[in-house]
Structure 1
Amino acid sequence: MLDNLPQMTKFIPKIRQYDDDLEKQNLWWTVVAMVGKVNNQDMDGQLLESITETQAQFEKLRANLIENMVQRYLDKVSVSLKLKSQAFINTLNRNLFERTADVGFLAIDDDIVGFLEAEDFSKEKLFHLQERLTSYVLKYSVYDDVAILSPTGKVLVREDKEIAPIQSHNDIWSKVVTHDGYIEYDKPLDIFPKQSLPLSYLQRICNRQGKVVGILCLSFKFVDELTQLSDTLSHSAESEPSSENFLLCDQAKNIMFAKHSTEMGKSLPALKSNQLEIVSFSGRQYFAYVTEAEGYQGFKGLPWQSVVLHPLDVAFKSDAAEHHFELNETSALFPHDLNELNLEINTALLIVVLNGKIISLKNKVKAFLPVLDSFQEIGEQIRQIFATSIEHIYQVTHQTLAAEVSFLAKLAMDIMDRNLYERANDCRWWSVNPNFRRLLSLEEPLTHQQRNELTDVLKAINELYTVYENIIIFDKNADVVAMSDSKNQKMLGSNIGHLSGVKAALKLQTPIDYRVSAFEKTPLYQNKPTYIYYASIAKPISSRYENVGGVGVVFNAEPEFKAILEDFLPKDVNGQSIPGAFAAFVDDHAQVISITENPMNFEVGSHLQLGFNLSALRSDNGTFEVEINHINYLVGYQLSQGYREYKITDSYENKVIALIFSQS
């Protein structure tokens, strides 16, 4: 892109200003040199030659400076678009990974399998199953419909009561019934006529003997998710939504989704992945960045690409909200190379002036002294312009890093909220498992066989949902009756009523509510700190909601949180990790929930010594500067905002802050 500097500089007024100022000094230099040469024929030719050589050095430095400034601005755009493009596809991919577990588990649901095996499609049975599907969608709000089909594609029951059951004529069903596992399907299905952008999760349903008895279909809120995600990513720390457009494209670059819907259905020109490019599209020039999904725990999903477009004519407009950083010449962000070249030019010019004055006085050519004074003034003007330009480069570099760390903090926190939203859904759905409710409602103590029955279900769940270290069931007295973790069987039969969240869970009065433990050490997680999500188990048939126990899902916090943070460590423009950078999740007292490798060896449970109270932060997202162990850091932060109803409308409060540290 630097091959066409004029095209770039015309969009960056600040660079044009510096270049014009330097050009004026260059022209004045030429004029003064010519005047000096014409009017001082007796002057030493070597001195005049030195003036010309120094001017040539200045012109090289000027070109170097302008190129460097343009590159810093391009880096700023590149870092921003790269982060947003990667976040758009990879956050979506993480979400869809969760859907693959959902469809797999719901396909072995006892109520659904029993309904299909019995082939009793009476109004009473259909109503009961439809209510169960409605309960599922209320908890897993990423779906707008769930349908259960016969093996031949006839809709038997669905969650959406507004759509009449039909005999589907799609060809996919013959593939589903012979396929082992889920199918992620992004083509239209006649059973989901409301889907504006189709994405469904399909899996055959088998009975215990392995016979295919039906098909499960989950309709994902695809447009809703893409809109919410692009809205989140297009808001920066302290400014209005940007003019960037977020696109999801198929392999042929056909636009499946566009934040600005006028682009829907169009095709992009061929673009390379993972690099900043300029593209002409719909009569306008854009910076473009294309990313393919990196994959998450082996899941890559369908072959889509995310594209972020930013109009060239507004890409470099300064943001009035951008912070002005105090100049620090010892900072690693300071352009020492340019500063040294500036000193070199000024020193060379000063030597020329001093030599000239000595020669003029020695040869009694006083007429040349005003020329030398003019060169001295030119040198001072150049020095000031370069000093201002170098400070501007420093500001742009600092602002680029500030935008990066604040945005990375935003992404890390968003992924954490999305991850834990799923945990709240899981515990509530599993708590209404018919077998759990039936067995815990028995008056007599559970037999060994009944406990094994519960344990087998928990183990099957845990094999699909690998983010859990353990899943437990406890009775109304808070005694553990079953657990998935075979390594921690000593907890079986023990009372956990003293653990955070358990008593509160046993007091819940609806299947929608849940409780979460404090982030603290627990015997259910090898005495390490984690969150445990709880939901109550109620009697299957009762005139009122009567608790008979609960489900607890023990989140595998140590590797899961650390993996999130490591994904969002800052990188340089070449994609290399920045030395000394680290990331952390902390509570509002700066106590560490999770942290990556760091120079201070902070660990989970440590208190970060920031020198101020995090509750004093004036916004939800931004940056601050701090010195730790004599190292200056620029820190991006993001307060937890929740996701969908999680932490927003469900009454759960837990103040968590993502922090991204980069040396400055």
Structure 2
Amino acid sequence: MATYKGITFPDHVAPLARHMHSVNDHREALAALSGTWDTLALLAHLSNLKADMSEVRASFGELTGELLVCLAEEMLALADDTLGHQAQIAVEVLTRNLFERTADIGFLATDSAIVDACIANDAAAFATLRERLHAYAARYTVYRDIVLLAPDGQVLTRLADGFAGRSSSPIVGRALGGQGGYVESCESTDFCDGERALTYAWRVEQGGRAVGVLALVFDLEREAQMIFERLATNDEVLAFVDGSGRVIVSNDAARLPPGHRLGLRDGAAALRLGGVTHLAAQRHGQAYQGYPGPGWSTVALAPVELAFGDDAEAAVAVDFSGENVFSQRLLDVPVRAREIQRRLDRMVWNGRIHQAAESNAFSRSLLEEIASTGRKTKDVFERASSELLTTVASGLLGEARFLAGLSVDVLDRNLYERANDCRWWATSPVLATMDAAAARKTLAHINGLYTVYSNVLLFDTQSVVVAASRDTSVEGRQLTGAWVADCLKLRDPMRYAVSPFEPSDLYGGEGTYVYAAPVLVDGSAVGGVALVFDSTPQFAAMLRAALPSTAGSMAAFCRRDGTMISRTGELPVTLPTNVLSLAPGQQWSGVLAEGGHSFVVGATAGSGYREFKTSDGYDETVVGVVVIPCGQVVERHVAAAPQVANVAGGAEIATFLIGEHLLGVPASDVVECIEVTAAVRVWRGGFAQRHVGFVTWNDMALPLVDIAADVNAAGAPQRHALVLKAGAQWFGLLVSELGPVADMKLTEERGLTGKGDITKLIAQLARSGSVFIPVLSPDAIFGGPAG
């Protein structure tokens, strides 16, 4: 623990507290009030005021520290969660992207044109192959180079101009030594001009003999910037780092250049970078479909001066109970503040009662000042408590938006690959022969590498299936659907067709997308390739990756027409119409209520990836939705205190609330107000069903009386008891809250009549301006008629 400005914070929070403007504003306000409390306590002691302020002051002091620490910890948690979401999304998205690369290299290394060129080993074959590599890169735009090398390391051909000699880079030997597996490396290679490059290599074989090595050089820098640009919103620095903490690539080479080693310890909340303290979050990637990733993590950094800035979402109304999203400590802070305030109210109220028979103007003024300072303290605590709740609620809204954005980003990136796959596989020389047996073998090999498809089909110009990768029962069947005709009409090898998301007999009657591209020979379509996306498990996996940790949360993909593409559970709340009309890339979050329950909802409309859905003519916006349950709907409005002005020459009336009913008794009839937390509750019939228990008072068992049912407020909270006397019997009247003690004019009416038990308890009416307050008779309350 460490102390900052008189407040003891946990060690990881204390160095950052001075940057939390909200915490400091509340601390300064409470410090000023603390000085006022000290002055008032001294004046109360000197004036012999019968009000012991020490316990209340000590409680306020304790709660001040706890409140500020809690607020600081929640602000730090919100900032850390924001950075953590950015870091986690970055590494998860990259891992999924690189998983696709491991499939690409495995399939491309078996491409007959590549194998034949390695065997022919002549300039003409390599020149022709280079054109094919350009066609591949035009579809799979994630690569910046493709290099084909001989077993001895000699560069045979490559996509980009560059090193053309014999490579001695270790990746070549590792690929040659691998038996049917990829090699992943992010080291410097001579065929990449000595630069560090993320490269995937595979041994090219013919009859089990190595005839070459194929290397795909991933465009990591561009891909990283695309990921980081979507995530960094407030001058955050994002970087991929290797297992030793060395920066691979970042979005700010000035602050985090490649090769820079970060001294970030496990669990560290901050580090200094360029002389500036930054909040830090580090997240590691998880394996995806068996692919472990390159062993990297993402680090997200934010300057502390910006990390705790005001958030517009802090104004969100927290109209929900939040028992499943707010910690008990968080929920206890406003409860404790109200309890302390009630003790202060009781102390001031008793002080006014004790002064009722005196004309000590100073004591009365002092009590008013104590009450005023109490109200100011209460206001500060309420604002800080409200800010605590809104800080957490803001974090929930941000989490829902972030995760909804992650879900559609992963979806668009995944389906981008599907558009690439169908266009590239349609260029296969084997499939162009339309030979069923050869095509079936090729399609099975493809589907073994690319497991996201339930089936891969080759169909002819009559839309009849020639060959299938898995379910061969569809062979000979004529395909239907507009997408089939659209595919066969295409003459541009860069174009493709997609079915709507709809139930398909190619997918057991379940909803899916089918991607198709024409097989072109001399510019004419001789058939087409159709990829049946295995949508149910694939979309479910995407949504699970975006699912919040809060129990009961759900996620969904929706089309603009409201069609559910996939969901993890039933949608518990009706979505606003504007959610389905979000523009690509637009986000929304809010708190929705239905059936008495509240939900934090975040939504993001997908905006495509690279050329997919942005410039390739395909228009299919999917909206990702994340729903987090946050308890019951509650109203957090605080009832305004009754405004009762003193009337010159009036009688002193002590007012109180039972439920929402403002009532009073003559101040001279009140001994004091006491707590009832330790009351013994009983039920008795007989003389009065209002007698509900006892509480210890002045070493005696004080009977407690409940008149809530008489004033139509049954079940109202009972927090205080007014000690009154009926004849020779002392008793306590249970009340909800205390009102002012004020001089009021009494009416002449007595013995009011009317319906209900309340009229039997009223002795007179008190008036202050337009406010009329029933004045109750202690005798009538305890069991006798009103006087």
Question: Would you say same fold, with TM above 0.5?
Answer: yes
Is 1:13 paired with 2:21?
Answer: yes
State the SS of the aligned residue for 1:172.
helix
Determine if contact 2:189/2:195 at 8 Å carries over to the other structure: no
In structure 1, distance between residues paired with 2:532 and 2:490: 19
Determine if contact 1:610/1:628 at 8 Å carries over to the other structure: no
Q: Where does residue 107 of structure 1 map in the other structure?
A: 109
Is 1:458 paired with 2:458?
Answer: no
Shift of 1:164: 5.6
Is 1:494 paired with 2:477?
Answer: yes
Shift of 1:384: 1.4
Equivalent of residue 339 in structure 2, options 338, 344, 361: 344
Determine if contact 1:520/1:531 at 8 Å carries over to the other structure: yes
Q: Scaled by the length of structure 1, what TM-score is found?
A: 0.89
Shift of 1:24: 1.5
Q: Which amino acid aligns with 2:10?
A: L
In structure 1, distance between residues paired with 2:300 and 2:318: 33
* Pair 37,645 (structure 1): closer, same or farther in 2 beyond 3 Å: same
In structure 1, list runs of 5 or more residues that go unmatched: 235-240, 441-449, 571-576, 601-607
Equivalent of residue 414 in structure 1, options 404, 409, 428: 409
Higher helix content, 1 or 2: 1
Q: Which amino acid aligns with 1:454?
A: A
In structure 1, distance between residues paired with 2:595 and 2:500: 30
Is 1:174 paired with 2:166?
Answer: no
* Pair 128,546 (structure 1): closer, same or farther in 2 beyond 3 Å: same
Q: Scaled by the length of structure 2, what TM-score is found?
A: 0.75
Q: Where does residue 525 of structure 2 map in the other structure?
A: 547
Determine if contact 1:589/1:614 at 8 Å carries over to the other structure: no
Shift of 1:362: 6.4
* Pair 462,97 (structure 1): closer, same or farther in 2 beyond 3 Å: same
Q: Where does residue 727 of structure 2 map in the other structure?
A: none
Is 1:317 paired with 2:318?
Answer: no
Higher strand content, 1 or 2: 2
- Structure 1 or 2, whichever has the larger Rg, is 2
Alignment identity in percent?
Answer: 29
Q: Where does residue 620 of structure 2 map in the other structure?
A: 654
Q: Which amino acid aligns with 1:314?
A: L
Is 1:566 paired with 2:566?
Answer: no
Determine if contact 2:400/2:628 at 8 Å carries over to the other structure: yes
Q: Where does residue 142 of structure 1 map in the other structure?
A: 142
In structure 2, distance between residues paired with 1:120 and 1:110: 14
Shift of 1:435: 1.0
* Pair 313,380 (structure 1): closer, same or farther in 2 beyond 3 Å: same
Is 1:533 paired with 2:523?
Answer: no
Is 1:267 paired with 2:261?
Answer: yes
Shift of 1:597: 2.3
State the SS of the aligned residue for 1:578.
coil
Is 1:70 paired with 2:69?
Answer: no
In structure 1, distance between residues paired with 2:399 and 2:389: 15
Shift of 1:614: 3.8
Shift of 1:367: 4.6
1:197-219 Cα offsets, whole Å, 9 max, x none, are: 41111111111x21111110111
Equivalent of residue 495 in structure 2, options 513, 522, 525: 513
Determine if contact 1:197/1:222 at 8 Å carries over to the other structure: no
Determine if contact 2:13/2:76 at 8 Å carries over to the other structure: no
Q: Which amino acid aligns with 2:507?
A: Y
* Pair 329,511 (structure 1): closer, same or farther in 2 beyond 3 Å: closer
Determine if contact 1:415/1:564 at 8 Å carries over to the other structure: yes
Shift of 1:611: 4.7
Determine if contact 1:589/1:613 at 8 Å carries over to the other structure: no
Determine if contact 1:521/1:530 at 8 Å carries over to the other structure: yes
* Pair 567,559 (structure 1): closer, same or farther in 2 beyond 3 Å: same
Regions of 4+ moved over 6 Å: 362-366
Q: Where does residue 47 of structure 2 map in the other structure?
A: 39
State the SS of the aligned residue for 1:152.
coil
In structure 2, distance between residues paired with 1:590 and 1:366: 70
Equivalent of residue 429 in structure 1, options 404, 424, 444: 424
State the SS of the aligned residue for 1:268.
coil
Q: Where does residue 651 of structure 2 map in the other structure?
A: none
1:243-282 Cα offsets, whole Å, 9 max, x none, are: 110112222212221211012132211421xx46111222
* Pair 299,224 (structure 1): closer, same or farther in 2 beyond 3 Å: same
Q: Where does residue 582 of structure 1 map in the other structure?
A: 554
In structure 2, distance between residues paired with 1:512 and 1:617: 29
Q: 1:44-443 to 2 correspondence within 5 Å?
A: 47-48=51-52, 51-117=53-119, 119-123=120-124, 125-160=125-160, 162-163=161-162, 165-180=164-179, 181-193=181-193, 196-207=195-206, 209-234=207-232, 241-262=233-254, 263-264=256-257, 265-272=259-266, 275=267, 277-319=269-311, 321-322=312-313, 324-328=315-319, 330-332=321-323, 335-361=330-356, 367-437=362-432, 439-440=433-434
Determine if contact 1:246/1:259 at 8 Å carries over to the other structure: yes
Shift of 1:494: 0.6
Query: What's the RMSD between the two structures over aligned residues?
Result: 2.1
Q: Which amino acid aligns with 1:53?
A: E
* Pair 3,364 (structure 1): closer, same or farther in 2 beyond 3 Å: farther
Which structure has the higher relative contact order (CA within 8 Å, separation 6+)? 1
Shift of 1:361: 4.5
Q: Where does residue 478 of structure 1 map in the other structure?
A: 463
State the SS of the aligned residue for 2:55.
helix
Q: Which amino acid aligns with 2:496?
A: Y
Aligned residues: 614
1:32-68 Cα offsets, whole Å, 9 max, x none, are: 111121232xx55xx42xx101110111111111112
In structure 2, distance between residues paired with 1:3 and 1:582: 36
Shift of 1:6: 5.1
* Pair 402,233 (structure 1): closer, same or farther in 2 beyond 3 Å: same
In structure 1, distance between residues paired with 2:628 and 2:91: 25
Q: Where does residue 731 of structure 2 map in the other structure?
A: none
Shift of 1:328: 1.8
* Pair 73,127 (structure 1): closer, same or farther in 2 beyond 3 Å: same
Q: Where does residue 636 of structure 1 map in the other structure?
A: 602
In structure 2, distance between residues paired with 1:56 and 1:460: 76
1:506-563 Cα offsets, whole Å, 9 max, x none, are: 0011111111110011111111110111000011xx3xx1000000111111111111
In structure 1, distance between residues paired with 2:354 and 2:301: 60
Determine if contact 1:558/1:594 at 8 Å carries over to the other structure: yes
Q: Where does residue 610 of structure 1 map in the other structure?
A: 575
Shift of 1:324: 2.7
In structure 2, list runs of 5 or more residues that go unmatched: 1-8, 631-787
State the SS of the aligned residue for 2:526.
strand
In structure 2, distance between residues paired with 1:427 and 1:329: 49
Determine if contact 2:286/2:293 at 8 Å carries over to the other structure: no
Q: Which amino acid aligns with 1:34?
A: L
Q: Which amino acid aligns with 2:129?
A: L
